[in-house]
C-alpha cells in the first residue's frame, strides 16, 4: 500500500450551548465557531484516512507532501520523524512551533485511520488495546458572569457530568466570584477545575488562588504562561491547589521533563494535535507518568468528530490518562452540526470509543459541504476575535472591589452577531 495524495479542506461549524447558538468567551478573546482543517490521505488501494487540525493548515500540509506521498502509511514513525526533523527537532522547543505539531497531529490521525481500516481494527486495538471501557470528560464552560457559569454548571450536573473545565483569568475579583458561585451551585461532590490561560503574573496568581482555596477547586490550569516553567513552579510551591500545565509548557517530551525536574505542576493536559500525533503523545504521557504527573486530554473549542474520535482512541488505550479529559464536543451538539455521520453522545459525562475500523467515523457529505461553504464564503463573520470583548468583564488586575455595572453586558453588544 502506498500513499498517493494528501488533500485538505477548511470547515466552519458554529458553536452552541445547551440547545442555542452561543460563542465561547475567554479573557483574551471570543470564538464563534470551530474553524478546522480536515485532512484526507489517499492510498493506491482505495483507502482514505481522515484527520483534523486547526485551520488554516492547508499551506503547511502541502509543504509536507514530499515527506508523505509515495510512502507506506504503516511507516508512521519514519514519516513523523522526518517531518519533525524538517522542523528542526533539536531546537529549544523540540519542534518548530505548534503549527507544525498541529499539522503533524492531523496527519497522524489520518495515517492511523488508514492503518486501522486496512487491518479491519479500531485504532485503540493497534496502540495498546482497551484499558478502559468509557472515557470520563470534564464539561467545558467559557468565561461568563458568575451566575451564568453557575447556572450552566447546574444544567451539566443534571445531564450527568461530575467534572468541569471552567475558564477564568479576567480579574481576581471576578474569578473568585465565579469559583464561589459554581461551588455553591453544584455542591461539594463535583470536581470543579479552572483555567486561567496564563493570565496572571506569579504573585497575582498566588494571591488569587489563595482566595479560592476554601472552595476546593480540583485544579488550576496554567495560572501563569506555561512558557515560564520557573514561574509555574513558584506558584505551585505557594498554593494548596493542584496545578495543571497546559499550553507550550507541555508540548514536547523535553518540556514535560523540565516540568518534572522543576516540580512545576501536578498534572499535564496532552493533546494529539499539540503534542504531534498518537505515538508522540503516548511518549509524552509515559514521560509524565514516570515523573509522577497525572495526565488528561486537552480540548479547545470545539473539536469535531474526527479529533474527538482520535482522542477517545488515545485515552482508551493509554493507562496514564488518570484524570477526566477536557471535552468541548458539547459545543458542537445540536443546533450545531458536526460533520460526521454519527455524532457522539454523552452518557453521564462519559464518551465511548468508536468500534469501527480505523477511527470508526465517516464524513457526512452534506454537513461537510455546508461547513466548507461557510468557511469559504462567511469566514469574516465567524472568525475568532482577539482582544477586548464587551461580553467579558474588564480585565483589571490591581484592585479588589465590586462594581455592579461591570456585569451589565447584553447580546446586543456583540461586535459580530451571527444570524
Measured CA to CA, the distance from residue 195 to residue 23 in angstroms comes to 18
Which pLDDT score is estimated for 71? 97
Domain boundaries, the chain: 3-122, 125-360
Which pLDDT score is estimated for 157? 98
How far out from the chain centre does Cα 159 lie? 21
Inter-CA distances, 79 with 65, 74, 174, 293, 371, Å: 11, 9, 47, 29, 30
pLDDT digits (tens, 9 = 90+) for 75-114: 999 998 888 776 544 333 433 345 666 888 999 999 999 9
CB 28 within 8 A of CB 74: no
Give the angle 110-358-81 at the CA atoms, nearest 5°: 40
**Grid cell for residue 190:** 463535583
Which pLDDT score is estimated for 414? 36
- The superfamily in CATH containing domain 3-122 is Enolase-like, N-terminal domain (3.30.390.10)
**Grid cell for residue 93:** 522547543
| Of 409, 391, 410, residue with least CA distance to 143 | 391
**Grid cell for residue 166:** 471552567
Which pLDDT score is estimated for 385? 77
| Of 239, 361, 383, 246, residue with least CA distance to 310 | 361
**Grid cell for residue 121:** 481494527
Which pLDDT score is estimated for 89? 42
DSSP state of 363: B
Q: Rounded to 10 degrees, what is the CA torsion of 213, 215, 216, 220?
A: -60
| Of 335, 315, 333, 334, residue with least CA distance to 325 | 315
**pTM of the predicted model as reported, rounded to 2 decimal places:** 0.91
Regions in the chain scoring below 50 on pLDDT:
88-97, 396-419
DSSP state of 258: H
Domain 3-122 and domain 125-360, same fold? Reply is: no
Which pLDDT score is estimated for 222? 95
Q: 10 Å Cβ neighbour count for 394?
A: 11
Which pLDDT score is estimated for 170? 85
- The superfamily in CATH containing domain 125-360 is Enolase-like C-terminal domain (3.20.20.120)
CB 67 within 8 A of CB 103: no
DSSP state of 417: -
Secondary structure class of 8 (helix, strand, coil): strand
The b-or-e profile of 159-185 (16+ CB within 10 A means b, else e) is: eebbbbbbbbbbbbbbbbbbbbbbbeb
Measured CA to CA, the distance from residue 179 to residue 231 in angstroms comes to 23
Measured CA to CA, the distance from residue 174 to residue 407 in angstroms comes to 10
Amino acid at each position: 500500500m502506498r500513499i498517493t495524495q494528501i488533500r485538505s479542506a477548511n470547515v466552519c461549524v458554529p458553536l452552541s450551548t445547551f440547545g442555542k447558538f452561543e460563542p465561547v468567551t475567554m479573557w483574551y478573546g471570543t470564538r464563534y465557531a470551530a474553524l478546522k482543517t480536515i485532512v484526507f490521505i489517499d492510498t493506491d488501494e482505495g483507502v482514505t484516512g481522515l484527520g483534523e487540525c486547526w485551520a488554516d493548515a492547508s499551506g503547511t500540509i502541502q509543504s509536507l507532501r514530499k515527506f508523505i506521498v509515495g510512502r507506506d502509511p504503516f511507516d508512521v514513525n519514519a514519516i513523523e520523524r522526518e517531518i519533525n526533523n524538517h522542523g528542526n527537532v533539536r531546537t529549544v522547543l523540540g519542534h518548530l512551533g505548534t503549527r507544525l505539531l498541529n499539522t503533524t497531529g492531523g496527519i497522524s490521525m489520518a495515517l492511523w485511520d488508514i492503518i486501522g481500516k486496512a487491518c479491519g481494527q479500531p485504532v485503540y486495538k493497534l496502540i495498546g488495546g482497551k484499558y478502559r471501557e468509557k472515557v470520563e470528560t470534564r464539561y467545558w464552560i467559557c468565561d461568563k458572569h458568575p451566575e451564568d457559569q453557575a447556572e450552566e454548571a447546574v444544567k451539566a450536573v443534571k445531564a450527568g457530568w461530575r467534572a468541569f473545565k471552567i475558564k477564568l483569568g479576567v480579574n481576581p475579583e471576578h474569578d473568585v466570584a465565579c469559583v464561589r458561585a459554581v461551588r455553591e451551585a453544584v455542591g461539594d461532590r463535583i470536581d470543579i477545575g479552572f483555567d486561567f490561560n496564563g493570565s496572571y503574573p506569579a504573585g497575582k496568581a498566588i494571591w488569587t488562588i489563595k482566595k479560592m482555596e476554601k472552595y476546593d477547586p480540583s485544579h488550576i490550569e496554567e495560572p501563569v504562561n506555561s512558557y515560564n516553567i520557573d514561574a509555574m513552579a513558584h506558584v505551585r510551591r505557594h498554593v494548596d491547589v493542584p496545578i495543571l500545565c497546559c499550553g507550550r509548557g507541555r508540548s514536547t517530551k523535553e518540556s514535560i521533563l523540565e516540568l518534572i525536574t522543576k516540580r512545576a505542576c501536578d498534572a499535564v493536559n496532552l493533546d494529539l494535535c499539540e503534542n504531534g500525533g498518537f505515538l508522540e503523545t503516548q511518549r509524552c504521557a509515559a514521560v509524565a507518568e514516570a515523573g509522577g504527573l497525572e495526565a488528561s486530554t486537552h480540548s479547545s473549542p470545539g473539536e469535531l468528530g474526527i479529533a474527538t474520535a482520535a482522542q477517545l482512541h488515545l485515552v482508551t488505550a493509554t493507562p496514564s490518562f488518570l484524570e477526566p479529559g477536557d471535552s468541548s464536543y458539547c459545543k458542537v451538539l445540536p443546533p450545531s452540526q458536526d460533520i460526521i455521520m454519527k455524532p457522539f453522545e454523552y452518557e453521564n459525562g462519559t464518551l465511548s470509543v468508536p468500534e469501527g475500523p480505523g477511527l470508526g467515523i465517516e464524513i457526512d457529505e452534506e454537513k461537510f459541504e455546508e461547513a466548507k461553504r461557510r468557511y469559504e464564503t462567511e469566514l469574516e463573520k465567524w472568525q475568532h476575535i482577539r482582544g477586548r470583548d464587551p461580553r467579558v468583564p474588564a480585565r483589571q488586575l490591581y484592585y479588589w472591589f465590586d462594581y455592579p455595572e461591570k456585569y451589565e453586558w447584553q447580546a446586543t453588544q456583540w461586535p459580530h452577531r451571527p444570524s
